Amino acid sequence: NFYFDIDCGKGKPYRSQPEGKDALLLFCQKTELPIPAIVSSGVGLYAHFKLSTSVPAGEWMAMARKLKELVAALEPGLDNDGIITDSARVLRPVGATHRKDPANPKKVRLLQDCKPINSLDFNASVDKALAKQPPKPVPSDKKSSHKNKDELQEKNSSAIKIAEQCAVIDMLRKLKGNVSEPLWHAGVGVLRHCQE
């Protein structure tokens, strides 16, 4: 299954469950994805796209990443916690009790069910919806070079001063970068912020 954990309430992407449900249904309308099962998790909502068969973990992850990309492009609030690609996530089952507010426990209830979806059909629908999204803007070389120049002008850190205080950077300097690859990468990660 694929799922959304839709946060609703004060300080969340949607003020109420009806607002969260409207956003979900509009997302499904725009993408032409099937309407999932909708569960009241207590305060928010869960949306479950139920699959008719099991899917190997690698295929599931590839599909989940595409679904996450689609959500990020059209309705990021549906993935506020960034868990669409969390294959080990366990959501509260229907019939459980939401107890984050001990004084006001709430039952997890099925609001709307759905038919299971063929994984190949679901994947094709996600691909089709992604193909309709405008391409992400790629900065031109001119813009990139200006950005890099500006970044270089803002660098005030001194690699020499760092080496005087940091034994690792000092060793990197003395050995002229002839160190293990992980150490070299870590050192470059520091030095890239320096003016030298």
Mean of all residue pLDDT scores within the chain: 87
- Specify whether the CB–CB gap between 68 and 59 falls below 8 A: no
- More confident position, 123 or 147: 123
Whether the predicted pLDDT of 139 surpasses 80: no
Q: What is the pLDDT of residue 141?
A: 53
Q: What is the pLDDT of residue 17?
A: 96
- Reported as a single tens digit per residue, the pLDDT across 151-173 is 444 557 788 888 888 888 888 88
Q: What is the pLDDT of residue 55?
A: 92
In the chain, % of residues over pLDDT 90 = 62
Quote the CA–CA distance of 151 and 195 in Å, as a whole number: 10
Q: Of the given ranges (32-41, 81-90, 105-114, 138-147), which has the lowest mean pLDDT? A: 138-147
Whether the predicted pLDDT of 71 surpasses 80: yes
- More confident position, 185 or 105: 105
pLDDT bucket at 129, cuts 50 / 70 / 90: very high
